[in-house]
Amino acid sequence: MSGLARDRARGPIVAAWLVGIAAAIAVIANTRFTADMSAFLPREATAEQKVLVDQLRDGTLSRLLLVGIAGGDAASRARISIALGNALRHDGAFAQVHNGDATETARDREYVFANRYLLSPAVTPQRFTVEGLHAAIADSIDLLASPAGMMLKSVLPRDPTGEIVRLAGDLAGTARPRLEGGAWASQDGERAILLLETRAGGSDLDAQEQALARIRTAFGQAVATSRVSGGNVSLLLSGTGVFAVASRATIHDEVVRLSIASTTLIVLLLLAVYRSVVALALGLVPVVSGALAAVAAVSLADGFVHGLTLGFGTTLIGEAIDYSIYLFIQSGERNDESWVRRFWPTIRLGVLTSICGFATLLLSGFPGLAQLGLYSITGLAVAALVTRFVLPRLLPARFRVRDLTPLGRTLAAAVERAAALRWLLAVIALASLAALLLHRAPLWNRELSALSPVSAADQALDQQLRSDLGAPDARYLVVASGDSLDAALAASERAAQALDPIVERGVLGGFEAPSRFLPSRATQQARQAALPPRPELEARLRAATAGLPLAAARLAPFLDDAERIRTRQPLVRPDLVGTSLAHAIDALVVPQGQRWTAMLPLRPPEGSATIDAAAVRAALSSARVDGALFIDIKDEADRLYGGYLGEAMRLSAAGFVAIVVLLALALRQPARVARVLAPLVLAVLAVAGTFAAAGQPMILLHLVGMLLIVAIGSNYALFFDRGAGTGASGSSAANAANDGARPRLLASLLTANLTTVAGFGLLAFSSVPVLAALGTTVGPGAILALVFAAMLAPRP
Amino acid sequence: MIRALALGLVVAAAASMALAAGEWTVAELMQGLAARGPERAKFVERKHLAILDQPVVSTGELSWTPPARLEKRTVTPKAESLILDGGLLTLERDRRKTTLRLAEYPQIAAIVESLRGMLAGDRTALEKTYRLEAYGTRERWTLVMLPSDAQVAALVQRIDVAGNGNRVRSIEIRQSDGDRSVMSIE
């Protein structure tokens, strides 16, 4: 092609490319980036899973913060806890602040006592007959003989049937931490502890971060204004919000750090190889184009881009840069049209192989995984196309990089010798298979927490604080729903009725229910209807107290209270304002689209950490509570993740089959297909075998890493195959061409491999498990794929 | 309710057990108590409450295991048990168990620890909270315990323990709100 023709052709294609880049930048400018790990939660499928995902994202569980105060002496810690608690109660960021402070519960008690006839399940028409009243009052008198009845003594004139005794038992049945100096302390007395609930959901990371900053500030002030003795005090924080905020910071830091490090490494490497800044800049054109297009594509498809996708994406630089390396080094002294004719089909096949591998990820139910698939496909395809169609048109006339033929000849000699070591491959294959088949530790980690970037030390602190608190870990829930708040409360009542008998039988330690402190309207009205009008009640009371040591005349306050409660409007949510029960209602009854869901957290029986799920489900179904579900959050999350891990394995297998079919169609000779696949399969086997032998269970991202080994390695194997193909043709022209081409090919493959390893290898040092898994798989895997491909290459 | 635990029962029960082998001078009484082993006795307790026209009556059994365990098992009008063991006070009624840590309730701890001091014959501990006065003869004696601690005095006005020989016959607790309870021991 003449220079003139080339200039003419340059126009439209380069213009189209520039327009594409501008469009991608415009899309990216409006893109939302997130580091919320819940993006890696599976898309919910069943009702249980929907509740689960909502709970993990924004439920009470996600809003709880555990605070510990360590150091100093017990009295100092208690003073700081009380000062901190008071400050945080006045801070709108917190819905609940619990630290054992006595004044905290006074208003709750007042609400419960003032509305006892609406709240008590014992209020039935039978209880307010003459016989019912007689029995209830006689019970109360019996109770006065006991120390447990002394609470009742002062309120007996207002509450002769003892409703408050039962309500207090229901509402304060939970195990609580010990008190020291008027504030909660850990079992060993070494820490003061507080339990906070943020108003913002756990996935609102900015709000969580602010809440944590407020706690730190308030703690500083509490320390400054309290007398502290016995040494320095320190603040310990844990909870989902703490983890999420720390994870976001870690992911952000690491993505930035790793991107800079791997980019620097790749740039230095390429400068050393090319000895030309122009070549380096041009070489980055396809990479940058691919990355921009990939981010824009993900943004358009999902509406947001996850930080981890970007972290993953920077490593794809390592693969995408290969295309320009092949172009620059392999074309050598020839012009690029010749390269296009000779090498492009091989690269095209390599790109198509990679796309086959990643396309299956698009089908994954894991949003995070689907995003990685889309990112990879778009990035690689665009980088390859830009290398093929745009880059040659940007090259200056007589563009040339340093001739690497001498290096290539050394490599060729090494490859010659390596072929003699092929028997080693059989040994590696057998050893890897043996490791995989004989492994003792599980091959795969099926727990969702394996994806979490939270450090073991932080998890240990969390465990510590939770056990200090008597563990409100909210692992077990019964959920029931209705199409309004009131309907959800009614559903909660039916579920509570079903659960009461199994609490009696000791299957459950107990449970909380929102309907206990805000019954449904119908239930409240039924209880009001059970209360006779005042004159009637007075007459019955006179008859009921005959023969009892408690004269009806003393009980006028009871008649007043009963009449007031009988004629009042039923309680609604605003009546709870000012009590901690208001926040409890908001936490336990949540709107979900058109419906409201009530949650009943369950406690395991005393001395047990788990709940008999079958017994709870049986109780719910035998009581015919429609739509009430028992959920074990940890089990459900692990099952869900395990399911998606299985799905990802099937998808990867499908991707592998697609690659085999593609290669069979392109190469048309089973022997060649086998020769291309063998080094890839061997590399994957060796990497997986190493993990198995080391007893390191793999996670989902190791699987993605294996796909990447196949995608990257297929380029190497195809080039070796192509080199052999031309050599085998026996034409003298090809042989002559081969003379310089093969060493240059080898040099380009080594360079490409080094950039890939630089990109992925650094990930291995990440503290984010998701990234480290990719690094430890792809780094060694890419090297092995190249070495194995070289060893298996037919002699030219 | 917490106060009640300390007052209604522990005070009475502990006092009764402590004095089961009473001497009529405080010093001798304490010496005798320090040498005692485990004991059991039946009790009848009458509570005179301002709100009720008649006293409420409960019956059951007390047992003391040195150095720190006191158990009160009530049979009528309703079964329940109250156990003071070390620093824990546990009440079980209607299959519902409530456990209190004495350390969290300094007022009650003051009462309980001094009573336990008496059961163990530890006069020093006892006199941290009460002023002790002994009247009568060895055959028919009365020990009067008057709170010297202001917090305890807010709950208890006085405790009268009566006995003959080495037996405690009754414990009467007058509360500061005017209510009183009398426990007779078999």
Specify the pLDDT at position A490. Answer: 94
Mean pLDDT of A84-104: 83
The per-residue pLDDT of chain A, averaged, comes to: 83
Query: A718: which residues sit within 8 A by CB, 6+ positions away?
Result: A346, A349, A350, A353, A676
Whether the predicted pLDDT of A440 surpasses 50: yes
When CB atoms are compared, the residue of B4, B82, B101 closest to A150 is B4
User: Number of residue pairs across A and B with CB atoms under 8 Å?
Assistant: 73
Whether the predicted pLDDT of A450 surpasses 90: no
Q: How far is B175 from chain A (nearest CA, A)?
A: 12
ipTM (interface predicted TM): 0.76
For chain B, residues with pLDDT lower than 50 are 1-9, 11-23
Specify the pLDDT at position A105. Answer: 66
Chain A residue with minimal CA distance to B12? A147
Question: Using 50, 70 and 90 to split pLDDT, how confident is the model at A485?
Answer: very high
Among A142, A150, A158, which would you mutate to test the B interface (most chain B Cβ atoms within 10 Å of its Cβ)? Answer: A150
Chain A hits for B77, Cβ within 8 Å:
142, 145
| C-alpha distances out from residue A605 to A468, A608, B150, Å | 18, 6, 42
> Looking at the domain assignment, is residue A559 inside a domain?
no
Mean pLDDT of A474-482: 84
Mean pLDDT of A529-552: 91
Give the residue, A69 or A329, on which the prediction is more confident.
A69
Spatial separation of the C-alpha atoms in residues B17 and B68, rounded to whole Å: 12
Specify the pLDDT at position A724. Answer: 55
Chain A hits for B70, Cβ within 8 Å:
none
Specify the pLDDT at position A690. Answer: 93
Q: Is A550 on the interface with B (CB under 8 A)?
A: yes
Whether the predicted pLDDT of A495 surpasses 90: yes
A148:B51 CB<8 A: no
Mean pLDDT of A291-316: 83
> Looking at the domain assignment, is residue A411 inside a domain?
no
Specify the pLDDT at position A5. Answer: 47
Q: How far is B37 from chain A (nearest CA, A)?
A: 27
Domain of residue B141 covers 2-185
Tell me how many domains chain B contains. Answer: 1
Domain of residue A18 covers 1-30+275-403
When CB atoms are compared, the residue of B91, B104, B179 closest to A178 is B104
Chain B hits for A149, Cβ within 8 Å:
4
Chain B hits for A142, Cβ within 8 Å:
56, 77-78
* pLDDT tens per residue across span A706-735: 888 888 888 889 888 876 544 333 333 334
- Worst-scoring range by mean pLDDT, A199-213, A460-474, A604-618? A460-474
- Worst-scoring range by mean pLDDT, A541-550, A585-594, A753-762? A585-594
Whether the predicted pLDDT of A683 surpasses 90: yes
Nearest to A204 by CA among A93, A363, A332, A343: A93
Tokens for A618? 């049986």
| C-alpha distances out from residue A465 to A65, A288, A321, Å | 10, 47, 48
Q: How far is A116 from chain B (nearest CA, A)?
A: 19
Give the A window 135-154 contacts with B, CB below 8 Å.
141-151, 153
B93:A549 CB<8 A: no
Nearest to A487 by CA among A626, A643, A662: A626
Spatial separation of the C-alpha atoms in residues B124 and A424, rounded to whole Å: 86
Nearest to A707 by CA among A766, A657, A769, A638: A657
Mean pLDDT of A695-705: 85
Longest dimension (CA), chain A: 124
Spatial separation of the C-alpha atoms in residues A544 and A253, rounded to whole Å: 74
Specify the pLDDT at position B108. Answer: 66
* Three state DSSP letters for A308-348: HHHHHHHHHHHHHHHHHHHHHHHHCCCCHHHHHHHHHHHHH
Q: Is A296 left (phi over 0), alpha (psi -120 to 50) or beta?
A: alpha
Specify the pLDDT at position B22. Answer: 41
Chain A hits for B56, Cβ within 8 Å:
141-142, 144-145, 549
Name the percent of chain A lying above pLDDT 70. 89
CATH number where B24 lies = 2.50.20.10
- Worst-scoring range by mean pLDDT, A13-22, A471-480, A512-521? A471-480
Specify the pLDDT at position B17. Answer: 47
Query: A772: which residues sit within 8 A by CB, 6+ positions away?
Result: A763, A764, A765, A766
Tell me how many domains chain A contains. Answer: 1
When CB atoms are compared, the residue of A153, A156, A549 closest to B53 is A549
Query: A80: which residues sit within 8 A by CB, 6+ positions away?
Result: A69, A72, A192, A219, A222, A223, A226, A228, A233
Mean pLDDT of A171-200: 78
Q: Give the other-Cβ count within 10 Å of A363's Cβ.
A: 15
Specify the pLDDT at position A457. Answer: 80
Among B10, B11, B49, B94, which would you mutate to test the A interface (most chain A Cβ atoms within 10 Å of its Cβ)? Answer: B49
* pLDDT tens per residue across span A239-293: 888 888 888 888 788 878 888 888 888 889 888 888 888 888 998 899 899 999 9
* pLDDT tens per residue across span A558-597: 999 999 999 999 999 889 877 777 777 877 888 877 888 8
Chain A hits for B96, Cβ within 8 Å:
169
CATH number where A383 lies = 1.20.1640.10
Chain A hits for B54, Cβ within 8 Å:
549
Question: Using 50, 70 and 90 to split pLDDT, how confident is the model at A556?
Answer: very high
Q: How far is B83 from chain A (nearest CA, A)?
A: 12
Chain A hits for B1, Cβ within 8 Å:
147-148, 150-151
Chain B hits for A554, Cβ within 8 Å:
51
Chain B residue with minimal CA distance to A160? B51
Q: Is A549 on the interface with B (CB under 8 A)?
A: yes
Mean pLDDT of A67-78: 90
Nearest to A616 by CA among A527, A724, A503: A503
* pLDDT tens per residue across span A374-384: 998 999 899 99
Chain A hits for B75, Cβ within 8 Å:
none
End-to-end Cα, chain A, rounded Å: 31
Q: What is the DSSP letter of A444?
A: B
What are φ and ψ of residue A507, in 5° steps?
-70, -35
Specify the pLDDT at position A91. Answer: 87
B5:A150 CB<8 A: yes
Specify the pLDDT at position B80. Answer: 86
Q: Is A554 on the interface with B (CB under 8 A)?
A: yes
> Looking at the domain assignment, is residue A295 inside a domain?
yes
Specify the pLDDT at position A732. Answer: 37
> Looking at the domain assignment, is residue A5 inside a domain?
yes
Query: A195: which residues sit within 8 A by CB, 6+ positions away?
Result: A64, A65, A66, A67, A96, A97, A98, A99, A184, A469, A472
Specify the pLDDT at position A577. Answer: 79
Among A137, A146, A152, A503, which would you mutate to test the B interface (most chain B Cβ atoms within 10 Å of its Cβ)? Answer: A146
Chain A residue with minimal CA distance to B59? A145
